[in-house]
A and B are shown apart, each in its own frame.
Chain A
Amino acid sequence: MPEARVRILMAKVGLDGHDRGVKVVARALRDAGFEVIYTGLHRTPEEVVEAAVQEDVDLIGVSILSGAHMTLVPPLLENLRANDAQDIKVVVGGVIPIPDRQKLRDLGAAAVFDQDTATDEIVDWIRRELRRPRPGASHGPG
């Protein structure tokens, strides 16, 4: 049986328009063989969770370079729990000051990557963390 392909939702939340990083990472993940969906800009945390549930993804990669991460990530995590979808891992990327990285992990983010992180490192991390398909995942190989 081939392993089910990992599905990833890349997301931009808030008013931040910096999308160079999110698109580079999305493409690197696609080239690495993952299924990647990108929300486009200016989404609310609620919209991101709705899309993640609808698309049955394994992971959300949320990119924030505006400094509003402490306002925008907590409602995203909360919304996942409210939708009983906390098995979807959340990874935060962008310009995140060092003290805030631990805070985000404490709140439930699976990882925080900064602007100097190599895309290969992100790919390796996902392969390690999502080696097996989630129990009950219904989607087949893409």
Chain B
Amino acid sequence: MPTAKDAVSPDPKDDWAATELGPSLARLPERRERFETLSGLPIERIYGPDDIAGLDYVADLGFPGRYPFTRGPYPTMYRSRPWTMRQIAGFGTAGDTNARLKYLIAQGQTGISIDFDMPTLMGYDSDDPRARGEVGREGVAVDTIDDLDEILEGIDIGAISVSMTINPTAWILFSMYVAVAERRGVSRDKLSGTVQADILKEYIAQKEWLYPIPAGMRIVRDLIIYSVAHLPHYNPINISGYHIREAGATAIQEAAFTLANGIAYLEDVRGKGLAVDEFAPRLAFYFIAERDFFEEVAKFRAARRVWARIVRERFGARKPESMRLRFHCQTAGSSLTAKEPLNNIARTTLQALSAVLGGAQSLHTNGMDEALAIPSELAMQVALRTQQILLEETGAANTIDPLAGSYCVETLTNEIEEQIWAYIKRIDELGGAVAAAQQNFFQAELADAAYRYQRRKERGDLAVVGVNTHVDREASSIPFVLHEVAPDVEERQKQRLARIRRERDPRQVERCLAALITAARADHNLIPPTIDAVKAYVTAGEIVTALRGVFGRYVEQPVF
């Protein structure tokens, strides 16, 4: 029974504000007038039950492995299967990269990830004049099937998953991968892994492209349709927020634009007559883990919940596997500093922890030296050990979604979800992600956000330890040895290519290219003729050039 005394007793929070908080603030003001996340969401002094009063446990959080998947895509998560430790590697020629991959596997890495050089990414052979100075520099050079075969030499691709970070030319590398497996007698249902193949975020953010947007979309569509029919365990696309974020986006924009691109792929493939449940389970995602710890954890959770709702409610999917978002995660390259590079180990560790608490399926931790060079073997070992320590020493992976129920994290998750929906609505109004990209919507949003971020950093609103605060004026030397590009890489690769051009059957090359052009014109799936072509030692550059005659060239109208 309420008594008269209860009726006048103050609200406990008001009482606290009057008794403890007020006098404390008077004596010791807070460090800032306003606290906010990296994407500008306000951060309150304290969160409590009132902030999540509207949260419905079963509808909004539920259980891992069950709709809406906020708590994770699988029922047991890391307790059964730890995330895949997948350090990306790629430099020089195929042999150089193969040695690095074997080193990483020997150190306990559980998945493979290959990085390609700029000419390979952009469809130029190593002997093209446009490739000069870039062969084997930012990744490994691949001109023909033999290069990929040698990269994977001695590695059992029927047992380990292989991720290839490649986009406009993804369908060619995918075809080479299928052909290498065939060469080795590995059946297609044993192949797992992914090609990135997210062409929309290229036009938006990473800026590797070949053909106009509709042709780019068509190639991705062909790849998805072929892969789900023939490689049941393969992910033919990694819909990526990483590059959108690195190009300047906020966490909210990263999640929103990535999911909007996901909607575009769902619509596009469905438009070819496939039911969403036939292919949505094979779509995978890729996000960044940046510096704002709680915002990142909330972002991963919100992205899972929004995607589940999109796929079920908007697309009418029935299979839970279609609705569950699985993602690879990489710590943030652009958060690393060239000054005092050992500090990057601490940055990367914390970012990796946010990925683990956010439920990532696969993780790359950056090397401490990546603001300066392609990572050295030592830098990669420390980065991999960071993941192993997280898994095996900290206990962070032993319970699922441990930040669930945190008043703060749940509030941020709700706020991010709300803003993602607002962006998706705007993008729908522009005609969807493809139309929005054609109208430079994303590009302008990113340019604005990148500029705001830079100004914040320069005003000192955004601390970067060792760079704009706590600067050691004396520090100069780098306390480790950097990776150097071997000066003869370009020449060695050109010689390999020249030998192949000499030894292959030129009439077969012509026939394969003609078949590709015919398929492109007739809107037949491009993958089968591409597999035939790579088997006949047609180079990636030749395939790209032949199809340029059908598809044309993409020209950007840049905004800044």
Contacts and interface: CB of A to CB of B under 8 A. Distances in A.
Interface of A: 14-20, 22-24, 26-28, 30, 38, 40-42, 44, 66-68, 70-72, 95, 97, 114-116, 118-120
Contact of B207 (A14, A17, A24, A114): A17
Interface residues of B, number: 39
List the 5 closest A-B pairs by CB distance, nearest first: A71-B133, A17-B207, A23-B560, A15-B118, A68-B133
A24 B124 contact: no
Contact of B450 (A15, A20, A115, A116): A20
Interface string B81-109: 00000000000000000000000000000
B338 interface: yes
B337 A67 contact: no
A116 B372 CA distance: 12
B137 A27 contact: no
Contacts of A44: 130
Given A41-B556, A116-B338, A118-B458, A24 B118 contact: no
A103 B559 CA distance: 32
B451 A24 contact: yes
Contact of A66 (B137, B371, B450, B560): B137
A89 to B, nearest CB: 21
A114 B338 CA distance: 9
Contacts of A20: 246-248, 334, 446, 450
B556 A66 contact: no
Contacts, number: 88
B515 interface: no
Contact of B133 (A24, A27, A28, A70): A70
A44 to B, nearest CB: 8
A38 B124 CA distance: 24
A19 B558 contact: yes
B207 A41 contact: yes
Interface string B364-384: 000000011100000000000
Contact of B372 (A19, A23, A27, A97): A97
Contacts of A15: 118-119, 121-122, 124, 130-131, 134
A120 B467 contact: no
B447 A27 contact: yes
Nearest to A29: B560
A68 B117 CA distance: 11
Interface of B: 118-119, 121-122, 124, 130-134, 137-138, 206-208, 246-248, 334, 337-339, 371-373, 446-447, 450-451, 454, 458, 467, 482, 485, 556-560
Contact of B138 (A22, A66, A71, A115): A66
24 contacts: A14-B118, A15-B122, A15-B131, A17-B206, A17-B207, A19-B207, A20-B248, A22-B560, A23-B451, A24-B450, A24-B454, A40-B556, A41-B207, A41-B558, A66-B138, A67-B134, A68-B133, A68-B137, A70-B133, A71-B133, A95-B371, A116-B337, A116-B338, A119-B458
Contacts of A114: 338
A27 B119 contact: no
A48 B248 CA distance: 25
A23 B558 contact: yes
A68 B135 CA distance: 9
Given A15-B119, A67-B485, A38 B558 contact: yes
Most buried by B among A15, A17, A42, A67: A15
Contacts of A66: 118, 134, 137-138
B121 to A, nearest CB: 8
A135 to B, nearest CB: 30
B343 to A, nearest CB: 13
B451 A27 contact: yes
Nearest to A67: B137
A17 B121 CA distance: 11
Nearest to A39: B558
A65 to B, nearest CB: 9
Contacts of A120: 458
Q: Give the dominant DSSP class at A's interface.
A: loop
Contacts of B339: 116
A120 B132 CA distance: 34
Contacts of B248: 20, 24
A97 B338 CA distance: 10
Given A15-B122, A23-B447, A41-B558, 7 more contacts: A15-B131, A17-B207, A23-B450, A24-B560, A28-B451, A40-B558, A68-B118
Contacts of B132: 71
B454 A119 contact: yes
Most buried by B among A18, A24, A66, A71: A24
A115 B372 CA distance: 10
Nearest to B119: A15
A23 B450 CA distance: 9
Contacts of B137: 66-68
Given A19-B207, A41-B558, A66-B134, A115 B451 contact: no
Contacts of B458: 118-120
A114 B467 CA distance: 12
Contact of B560 (A17, A27, A72, A95): A27
A63 to B, nearest CB: 12
B366 to A, nearest CB: 14
B560 A16 contact: no
B133 A14 contact: yes
Nearest to A69: B133
Contacts of A95: 371-372
A22 to B, nearest CB: 8
A28 B118 CA distance: 28
Nearest to A114: B338
A116 B447 contact: no
A51 to B, nearest CB: 13
Nearest to B137: A67
A115 B558 contact: no
A70 B485 CA distance: 13
B354 to A, nearest CB: 22
Nearest to A16: B118
Most buried by B among A19, A67, A68: A19
Most buried by A among B124, B447, B482: B447
A17 B203 CA distance: 10
B449 to A, nearest CB: 10
B38 to A, nearest CB: 16
